Structure formats: structure tokens, C-alpha cells
Structure 1
Amino acid sequence: MSQTGKNILFMLHLPPPVHGSTIVGELVKEREILHKSFHGRYINLMLSSKVDESGKTNLKKLFRVVIIWFNLLGKLLHRKPDLCYYALTTTGSGFYKDVLFIALIYLFRVKIVYHIHNKGVIDAQKKKINHLFYKFVFKDAFVILLSQHLYYDVEAYVPHNRLYYCPNGIKDYQPTAALLTLSEDRPFTILFLSNLIEEKGVFVLVEACSILRDKGCEFRCNYVGGEGDVSEKQFNAFIEKKGLTEQVKYLGKRYGRLKEISFEQSDLFVLPSRYDCFPLVVLEAMQHGLPVITAYEGGMPDMVDEGSSGFLLSRYDDAEELAGRIELLISDPELRNQMGRNGRVKYEKNFTLAVFEERLLCILQEVIDYNK
């Protein structure tokens, strides 16, 4: 059925700051195939402009909530949408903010589909007030998850007949010949590219580097990203305490070409995170032909094939296991090159932007057509 003329209200997280949810929000907003298929209107749900502001409440944010609420009310009154696509925050103050907006959407009897990029419901629901809110928010709603491995988190509230899966996708990047011509005498280079958030394994990788150094391995480990709950000062103090100032470097934020160079001049990507659901940066590493070491968390098993395109740590905070996996790839160039090729093939098959937008388009069309 053609959906030409159907009106969708997209409530998204848009940058700044730059992180997975805002990048996906921007990609959704820019998709020409969605513009051709639907009449879209957009509301930015972001209250923070910096990563370290997330989860904190202040007057500026409260004022922003009021502005968004009235913006939403105006759009609902002016033209009732056929569907609301909503990037739901499932825990914390962000969730309570979303409840306010969702209540207004339900008041106008608008069909809603949540695209969830985070997790934590299974723990937060233990509080009675949260449980009641989840029952309200998910009642009669449709849900898009990034991976089947994340269904356990919302299983108590979302039936299978209202559930869809849409893994993230990213724009393709083809490295230039200049970037691929690397110095043969450079050390084995590990890349951590994400904001400095402790639950992303920031310190776990440093501990693994300490183990590798004590074993006599030669390597360099570059950290690229903004400050989060770990500051640059705290991070550098930890490196100095471990005696790793020669091996481990914090390079700060890098965007555009500098970011691509960071990937192309690395041999291995590491993100031992328990924080993420389906991190775009892992897809970027696969896109650049790097083997990936990450944790068996969230949707990671759908991204990284154990032993084929990288390794999945049994525990995100196991520095010994992480060091052992890195040491294996340092000593076996053929294995790491094959893993990198396998990751690139999987990216091309499953995680391109074209695949993502086609999946999302089909889901939105199906939800609009859905009748009880």
C-alpha cells in the first residue's frame, strides 16, 4: 500500500552532543527515501548540549521541556499525525520527561512507535512507580529494537506482535590510498574511540595495556573522544599511575577526516563496554576493516562474530581476558587481517545505510497499516 501523504511526527535526539542516538536521529531526518514516502515533521528531544550534562537537571533543561511540550501541542493541534516515531529514553530523568510528552500524544489518540537505543528497563521496573509508567508508555505502542538480544529488557511490556528489529546502519566510507599506506615500523596500534565513560571500559583497557606492557608487548593505544563522567585530567592521572604515558595517549575529539585517519592508522578496535546497545562506532570499525574486541553485551553478538570478525569478552571488566585477546592479535597478523576482512563483508551485507533505511521504511509502513 502506498503511504504517500501519510503524516509522521518524528520525535528525535539530534546533535549536539554527538553520540549514537543523536547520530541515528540525524540520519533518520536526512533520509530522502522517508521524505518521498511520508510527510515528516520533526521535534528535537535533546535537552543537553554536552555529554557530561546528561542525567543532570537544571533550570535551562526544565525551560527546554516546556518549550518542547508546547511545540508538540501545536503540531498535534495543527495537523494530527498518522503516526509518531519516538526515540524513547527508557530510564532516568530522560524517561520521566518522555512520559510527559507521551501522555500528550496519547491524549490525541495518535499511534506511536518507539525506536529504543538504550536499555535498563529490566532493572528500573523494580520500582513500583517505574513499573506503572512502563505499563502506561508501552500500552498499545509498537517498539523497534536494535537487536533480538535486547528483547529481554522490555519483554514484560511488549508483545511479539508489536515488536520490530532494525539494526543501525551507517554511511559508507572508502579509504584513500594515502591513508592505507602506513609506516611499516610503526607499533601495533589499538584504538578506543568513544566518550570517556567508565562503563564503556575506559579503565579496563588501560589495565589490559598494563598487563601487555608487563609481558613485553610493543604497542600504542590511542583514546579518541570527548570527556564524559571521566575527565581528561582523571584519565591522564590514571595512565601516569600505571606508568603507561609512552604507550597510551588521549587525543581528544576527532571528527571528519581526522576521525577516519584514526581508524585507518589502527590495527585493532577495542570497546569493552557494558553501556552500549548497538554502538555505531563498532560498525565504523568493521567498515574500516578492523578486527573488534568488545563485550558480550546488548546487541554486540549481532555485530561481532566471535572468532571470525573479532572477540566478545565474557565480562566487560575482565582485563586479563582482554589482554589475552589483544596479545593473540598482536602476534598473528594473518588472523587479524582475516578478521578485519570478515567484519567488512558483514558490514556491507547487514549494516549499510541503504539496508537500514529500507528496513525502517518497511516498519513504518507496516505500523501505519496495522489494525487491531
Structure 2
Amino acid sequence: MKKILFISNNASRTGAPYVLLLFLRWLKKENKKIEIHILFLEGGDLLEDFKEVATVCYNYSDILIKKPFLNRVFSYARQKINKNNTRKDRYIKKIANQQYDIIYANTIATVSFATILKRQCSNQPKLIAHIHELNTTIKEYLPNFNEYVHQIDLFVSVSQLVIQNLNTEWDVNPLKNHLVYAFSGKEANKANNHKKVFEVGASGMVYWRKGDDLFIQVANYLKIRYPEIKIKFTWVGQIYNRQRNIVEADLEKANLKDTVFFIGEQSTPENYYKNFDVFLMTSREDPFPLVCIEVGKLGIPIICFEKATGTAEVLVDGGGFIVPYLDIVAMAEKVVLYYNDRALRNKDGDLNRVNFSKFTVDNMGEKILNCIESV
């Protein structure tokens, strides 16, 4: 039986950890004779779910928690005696001694830790990096990523856009870079077609990468250019107080408080998605967002920016529109097109229901396993 250590940046209910959890559940169900160990750099809401599929779970953040005063004194004394024997070093050596066959780094945020661990292992395990990020985010989290590339034996990229970025910007060998699209565990359903208000939706944590400011600008353009059109705008996703203050100030000044709603994180976001007539992917960078898979399966058209998301790789076959990067006027005009043409909206929604239905754990899990077996 092979033993693999999967490293996750956290166990939160967000894209990359959720995809990893779905894959590990599938791996355990398929009984592929792989012993699953997981290391989290931070905790999160999905910790208990991960524990159900793993033989061993490590939480690196546990060793960073402050210890009682006397324990810190004794720890400091031990470090003075042997400067190299720090708590962190001992923790890494303990894990390295498990003699893993493969270390699997899920997201760019885990690559640095994974390479440190690989160097500590005496049996020279293979290192796989599952990359869910594009260039700006890579530069934000690991600006010296080029120093780690040669230590990675295989890359799993979640879209062609990610592959292109890794190969051209970070000099990754194309032969080591494999495409496996992200996937969702949500079942395909139908949107709610019996409501009275035309609703434009968006989703994600409210911060610069997701483009919440662009979402507001689309709504503002439509209010000024088409005052006779009645459209509701709804954003589903986590919003911290600082961002909420900024958003509410924008809505107040633009007189949009009765039109645009940021409803925060929801335990069952699909209950809101099914009310959307159109979904706006306003992200500046989004490799292959799960929300697009989920709204696509609901039969909802998607509008996104060119060069910003791997979702465009699906929309080239229909199901929505790809507009020039940051062109909120073009995006808004496509919303008006759907508003006025229900038949087009239904046609593109039906295409999405078909095209996004293939992004399942059964289809993509087998591809990830093939990557693992290849090393």
C-alpha cells in the first residue's frame, strides 16, 4: 500500500480544500490501496470531514499556539542547548520519518512547506503540486516560486489558463504539467423560472480578486443607462466588516441600496443561485471557480472577462459571453441582451447544464489518480 501525504493550506469551505476533500472521499470509496495522511497549515470548518477519510491528520497551526509560561521557559532552555532542535524542526522531522511515497501540495500556499518536508525525507518521495492559482496570486503568496519549480516532479493545473501561465511565466516543463479541471459535488438541478424579478448574481469572498467593485459598477451603469429596467443584483459570499463598510458607502452614494444586495456567506448558497437569471463572473483572476460549475449545472448563463478565468474555456462552446477584460459596459449590455431575450437565456442555460455536467469527482478524480500513479 502506498502512503501519500496531502498538504492543504487550510480546511475551510472554499474551493481548493473542498475539491481536495471530494477527491479524498472518492479515493477512499474506490479503495485504491492508498493510505491517506493529511497535513493542514491552518484549521477550518471541514477538519472533521477530512478526519473521516484520513488515516492521520496533522494540524501545523497547533504547534504555533502559545504555550503556558513555564512551558515556554523550558522550551527556550532546550532551544539554547540545541539551537537546531526547535519545535518546528522536530515537528517536520516527525512527519518526514513517516517515509511517504508522495507528497501532494494542494495550492501554491503549501509548496514552500512541501519542499522543506521533501528535503527532510530520507527516502526521496515524489512531489506533486496541484495549482489552483494564476499569476498575480502566485506572486502574492510565493513571489520566489521559480526557486521551487525544479523540486516539483509533477504539476496538476485546474485550467488551460493555469497551464499557460505556469509554462510561460514560471518556466514549468510542459511535459510535467497536466490539466485536470476542478469539480463540484453539487447535483445538477434547475433554476427557479417562476419568480417575478430579473436577478443578476455573483458569488465569492468580497475582495479585490473577485471584483465586487466591478459588480457594483455594472449595476450602476444599468441604472443610469436603462432606468426603465428593473433588475435585482445579489452577491453571495463572505464579507468582512472593513469591506462591508466600503461596499455600503458605494451603494449609498450611487443610490443602489434598493437594487444591489451583499447577503454574506450562506450555508446553502444554491438556494440563492437558483433564483439567478444571469451569473456575472467579475473576477480579475479565477482559475476555474466552483461556483461557475454549480450555477452552470443549474442552467444559468454566465458572463465573464477575457483572460481572467478558466471558465471561458467552457463558454467558448456557448452558454454565455466572454467580454473584454474589465469592460463593465460590455458586460452590462450582455445582461440587457439576456433581459430582453428569454429564448437566448434559456438556450445558453441549457448548454451550460450539459457542458458543466462533466466536472464531477468521478470524471476528474480518475485523472488526478492517473497523475499520482504516473510518478
Q: Give TM class, smaller chain.
A: 0.7 to 0.9
**1:168-183 equivalences in 2 (<5 Å):** 168-175=182-189, 180=192, 182-183=194-195
Q: Is the contact between residue 10 and residue 43 of structure 2 (CA under 8 Å) also seen in structure 1?
A: no
**1:268-347 equivalences in 2 (<5 Å):** 268-296=278-306, 297-305=308-316, 308-315=318-325, 317-347=326-356
Q: How far is the alpha carbon of 1:130 from its aligned partner? A: 4.7
Q: Distance in 2 between matches of 1:113 and 1:174?
A: 31
Q: How far is the alpha carbon of 1:326 from its aligned partner? A: 0.7
Q: How far is the alpha carbon of 1:48 from its aligned partner? A: 7.8
Give 2:120's aligned residue: 107
Inter-CA distance 219–67: structure 2 relative to 1 (3 Å threshold): farther
Greater CA radius of gyration, 1 or 2?
A: 2
Give 2:4's aligned residue: 8
Q: How far is the alpha carbon of 1:229 from its aligned partner? A: 8.9
Among 248, 254, 260, the alignment partner of 2:266 is 254
| Structure 2 SS opposite 1:231 | helix
Q: Is the contact between residue 121 and residue 154 of structure 1 (CA under 8 Å) also seen in structure 2?
A: no
The Cα offsets for residues 101-159 of structure 1, whole Å up to 9 and x where unpaired, read as 4123133221100001112279849xxx955x523343352111112222232224321
| Structure 1 SS opposite 2:148 | helix
Q: Is the contact between residue 135 and residue 157 of structure 1 (CA under 8 Å) also seen in structure 2?
A: no
Q: Distance in 1 between matches of 2:347 and 2:88?
A: 49
| Structure 2 SS opposite 1:249 | strand
How many percent of aligned residue pairs carry the same amino acid? 20
Inter-CA distance 64–138: structure 2 relative to 1 (3 Å threshold): farther
Q: Is the contact between residue 121 and residue 153 of structure 1 (CA under 8 Å) also seen in structure 2?
A: no
Q: Distance in 2 between matches of 1:145 and 1:253?
A: 27
| Structure 2 SS opposite 1:154 | helix
Q: Is the contact between residue 48 and residue 61 of structure 1 (CA under 8 Å) also seen in structure 2?
A: no
Q: Is the contact between residue 271 and residue 295 of structure 1 (CA under 8 Å) also seen in structure 2?
A: yes
Q: Distance in 1 between matches of 2:106 and 2:202?
A: 27
Among 131, 149, 155, the alignment partner of 1:116 is 131
Inter-CA distance 80–123: structure 2 relative to 1 (3 Å threshold): closer
Give 1:208's aligned residue: 218
Q: Distance in 2 between matches of 1:228 and 1:119?
A: 24
Q: Is the contact between residue 204 and residue 319 of structure 1 (CA under 8 Å) also seen in structure 2?
A: yes
Give 2:72's aligned residue: none
Unaligned runs of 5+ in 2: 46-60, 67-85
**1:224-263 equivalences in 2 (<5 Å):** 224-227=236-239, 231-256=243-268, 259-263=269-273
Whether 1:25 and 2:31 are equivalent positions in the alignment is: no
Give 1:88's aligned residue: 107
Q: Distance in 2 between matches of 1:61 and 1:241?
A: 45
Partner amino acid for 1:25? L
The Cα offsets for residues 66-117 of structure 1, whole Å up to 9 and x where unpaired, read as 877654432321x31111111132xxxx47xx42441231332211000011
Unaligned runs of 5+ in 1: 50-59, 368-372
Q: Is the contact between residue 34 and residue 361 of structure 1 (CA under 8 Å) also seen in structure 2?
A: no
Q: Distance in 2 between matches of 1:205 and 1:122?
A: 21
Among 358, 363, 366, the alignment partner of 2:371 is 363
Q: TM-score, with normalisation over the residues of structure 1?
A: 0.80
Q: How far is the alpha carbon of 1:62 from its aligned partner? A: 8.5
The Cα offsets for residues 273-310 of structure 1, whole Å up to 9 and x where unpaired, read as 1131111111111011110111221422223236x111
Q: Is the contact between residue 99 and residue 137 of structure 1 (CA under 8 Å) also seen in structure 2?
A: no
User: Could you tell which deviates more after superposition, 27-36 or 201-210?
Assistant: 27-36
Q: Is the contact between residue 190 and residue 221 of structure 1 (CA under 8 Å) also seen in structure 2?
A: yes
Q: Distance in 2 between matches of 1:45 and 1:310?
A: 38
Inter-CA distance 171–67: structure 2 relative to 1 (3 Å threshold): farther
Inter-CA distance 74–351: structure 2 relative to 1 (3 Å threshold): same
Q: Is the contact between residue 196 and residue 230 of structure 1 (CA under 8 Å) also seen in structure 2?
A: no
Q: Distance in 1 between matches of 2:354 and 2:284?
A: 26
User: Could you tell which deviates more after superposition, 338-347 or 203-212?
Assistant: 203-212
Q: Distance in 1 between matches of 2:255 and 2:348?
A: 31
Partner amino acid for 1:346? N
Partner amino acid for 1:250? F
Inter-CA distance 123–289: structure 2 relative to 1 (3 Å threshold): closer
Q: Distance in 2 between matches of 1:320 and 1:69?
A: 54
Q: TM-score, with normalisation over the residues of structure 2?
A: 0.80
Inter-CA distance 170–149: structure 2 relative to 1 (3 Å threshold): same
| Structure 2 SS opposite 1:321 | helix
User: Could you tell which deviates more after superposition, 6-15 or 317-326?
Assistant: 6-15
Q: Distance in 1 between matches of 2:231 and 2:365?
A: 39
Q: Distance in 2 between matches of 1:220 and 1:320?
A: 17
Inter-CA distance 34–8: structure 2 relative to 1 (3 Å threshold): farther
